[in-house]
């Protein structure tokens, strides 16, 4: 029967405060969802989780630099079993801008977008006056076989 009868697997964390602590929690929750919902080898899993982590870190670090408090970030992932694709959206409602360098630029930083593009089949960043959306996409991502684990909707729980 293949994946034709399979439900789409989805992950969602809407309205989470954009902090590094929450970015790490979302990354870990996403990695667990990925492992139980999709059939992805260890290397590809590492690539996907790293790309998502970079987008989360960028939202937490850059989106609300001009705000007294961090605002929300939203994470959504959708696996289409018929197309065998995985798309992840990380959005915020802030205004992205680069941090002012303290002194000299750190050559070990500033590689997030390059990494995201290298680790995905496609990556796009759209910034507007109302926020930024990062869209990460992978092809040839199979659903987990039905006997190994049922595709499940994520519980959409909010982080404290």
- Mind listing the pLDDT tens digit for each residue in 119-143? 999 999 999 989 999 999 999 999 9
What CA–CA distance (Å, rounded) separates 78 from 15?
17
Report yes or no: 64 and 71 within 8 Å, Cβ to Cβ.
yes
- Mind listing the pLDDT tens digit for each residue in 58-112? 999 999 998 999 999 999 999 999 999 999 999 999 986 655 555 545 555 567 8
Class at the top of the CATH hierarchy for domain 9-97+108-143? alpha beta
Backbone angles phi, psi at 89, to 5 degrees: -115, 130
For the cut 60, the answer to whether the pLDDT of residue 117 exceeds it is yes
Q: Where are the domains of the chain?
A: 9-97+108-143
What CA–CA distance (Å, rounded) separates 47 from 119?
6
């Amino acid at each position: 029967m293949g994946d034709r009868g399979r439900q789409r697997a989805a992950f969602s964390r809407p309205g989470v405060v954009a902090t590094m602590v929450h970015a790490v929690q979302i990354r870990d929750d996403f990695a667990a969802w990925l492992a139980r919902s999709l059939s992805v080898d260890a290397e590809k899993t590492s690539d996907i989780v790293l790309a998502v982590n970079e987008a989360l870190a960028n939202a937490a670090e850059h989106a609300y630099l001009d705000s007294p408090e961090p605002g929300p970030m939203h994470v959504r992932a959708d696996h289409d079993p018929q197309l065998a694709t995985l798309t992840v959206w990380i959005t915020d409602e802030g205004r992205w801008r680069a941090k002012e360098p303290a002194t000299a630029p750190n050559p070990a930083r500033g590689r997030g977008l390059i990494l995201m593009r290298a680790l995905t089949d496609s990556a796009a960043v759209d910034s507007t006056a109302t926020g930024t959306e990062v869209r990460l996409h992978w092809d040839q991502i199979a659903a987990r076989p039905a006997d190994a684990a049922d595709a499940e909707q994520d519980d959409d729980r909010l982080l404290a």
